[in-house]
Structure 1
Amino acid sequence: MLRMVKRWTGIVMYGLIAIAVLVYRDPILRWLESDASDHIGWMIGAAALLATVPVVPFGVVAGIMGAKFGPVAGGLINVASSTFGALVLFCAVRFAFREQGRRYIARFRQLDRFMRFMERNAFMAVLAARLIPFVPAPLVNAASAISAMKAGSFALATALGKIPVMFVFAFIGHRLLESVSAVLWITLLYLLFLAAVYAGYLWYRRKYLSS
């Protein structure tokens, strides 16, 4: 029940933000047309800081980065910022809050298969979890931190896995006020990509994790 409430809270939050974007379209456009060099330093820092706060919907931050700096530069900033945030939380659990991390992941009964996946191939487990955005990021961070996975491998798998979703958010933010049809098309393609990734995960789970 609590998980369902959290899910709907996130959906409502994104909906309210989308409405606010449409209502304040003109001032947002004026801000986006201002000189990006005046903002890039503190915006990157703010994005990296917000990425360490699990309750903040980072998709909104990622969309702003795309709107301000374009889909390529914005996407790269998103990947770097979100990976930095994940690595900070990984290190926090591993070196300071290990027991709290164990108690946190113990609340998820469906985690057994993921932990077995990590035991077989931690890098691929984290990569797959990042490619599927509805897998709770704090759970992946905590599970990785209490495992034997190296921080460098965790950071690389996280960065690679975040590339699709972070560039999609950047593209959506870049095009949202210009072409709704383009946003719908990229969203559809991304959903098809997610379906393919999830189908691959289900196949791997049946073949290697069912025993």
Structure 2
Amino acid sequence: MGKKIGLAVFYAGIALVIYLYGETILEWFQESDNLVLITVMATVMAFFPVIPYPIVGGVIGAAYGPIVGGLITWIGSTAASILMFLVVRYGYQEWGMRVLARYERIGRLGAMFERNAFVAIAFVRLVPIVPSIIVNMYAALHRVSFATYAIASALGKIPAMLLFAVVGDNLMTEPRNILLAIGIYAIFLAVILRLHRIWQRKQQLKKQI
């Protein structure tokens, strides 16, 4: 119990620091050239989303371009989700269950998990219909292997993280391209939703046979 309380106080302290010095941290992202340290900080900012992560990703994209910026943003977000998964699974299961109980949409997520956990995790990452923290907790509290969770999360996060970086980069260079980037992402999501519905129908037909 003492360790859990100490860890919770530590987390709260980091969140407070980000809250107080968030603007300074974002400015540092734009000025620093230490990519390893920036990636670590991106992970911290994703784990403690005091500042919305799309803003963080946009700042990084503006500073380092869509490719490098997108890679840093993706690594940070993926690493943060994996850390949250491990923290909940091995230390805070009771707290995680209390958080999940507040969300009515969990029933829909549970039905998807019952069919295929890998597809469910990748899908909700691609189409953010459920908050990321809820996906992390739900997977940690149910029978989902670490490998399945990590791979599905990493793959599902790629389009959104790349979009954040592209939008941030275009804000600094070609603002007109932002609508094009968002349009491409919207088409991508529409295709994914269509494929998911087709997959659902096939699963229902299998059950009827």
So what's the TM-score if we normalise by structure 1?
A: 0.76
* 1:114 maps to 2:104: no
Q: For 2:112 and 2:40, locate their aligned partners in 1 and report how far apart those are by CA, in whole Å.
A: 34
Alpha-carbon offset, residue 208 of structure 1: 4.1
Alpha-carbon offset, residue 118 of structure 1: 1.1
Name the residue aligned to 2:85. 90
Name the residue aligned to 2:97. 102
Q: Aligned AA for 1:163?
A: I
Name the residue aligned to 2:65. 70
Q: Aligned AA for 1:90?
A: F
The 4+ residue runs of structure 1 with deviation greater than 6 A are: none
2:123 to 121, 128, 135: 128
Alpha-carbon offset, residue 133 of structure 1: 2.5
Q: For 2:36 and 2:89, locate their aligned partners in 1 and report how far apart those are by CA, in whole Å.
A: 30
Q: For 2:107 and 2:128, locate their aligned partners in 1 and report how far apart those are by CA, in whole Å.
A: 19
Q: For 1:71 and 1:173, locate their aligned partners in 2 and report how far apart those are by CA, in whole Å.
A: 8
Structure 1: 5+ residue runs without aligned partners? 1-27
Q: For 1:100 and 1:200, locate their aligned partners in 2 and report how far apart those are by CA, in whole Å.
A: 35
How many residues of Structure 1 are paired with residues of Structure 2 in the alignment?
Answer: 179
* 1:140 maps to 2:135: yes
- Secondary structure of the equivalent of 1:109? coil
Name the residue aligned to 1:13. none
2:157 to 153, 162, 182: 162
Alpha-carbon offset, residue 206 of structure 1: 5.7
Name the residue aligned to 1:16. none
Contact 2:121 2:153 in 1 (8 A): yes
Q: Aligned AA for 2:131?
A: P
Alpha-carbon offset, residue 108 of structure 1: 2.1
Contact 1:176 1:183 in 2 (8 A): yes
User: What per-residue deviation string (whole Å, max 9, x for no partner) do you get for residues 52-79 of structure 1?
Assistant: 1144311111112211221111111111
Q: Aligned AA for 1:174?
A: D
Give the superposed CA RMSD: 2.3
Q: Aligned AA for 1:140?
A: V
Q: Aligned AA for 1:197?
A: I
So what's the TM-score if we normalise by structure 2?
A: 0.77
Contact 1:54 1:138 in 2 (8 A): no
Percent of residue pairs bearing the same amino acid type: 34
Name the residue aligned to 1:46. 41
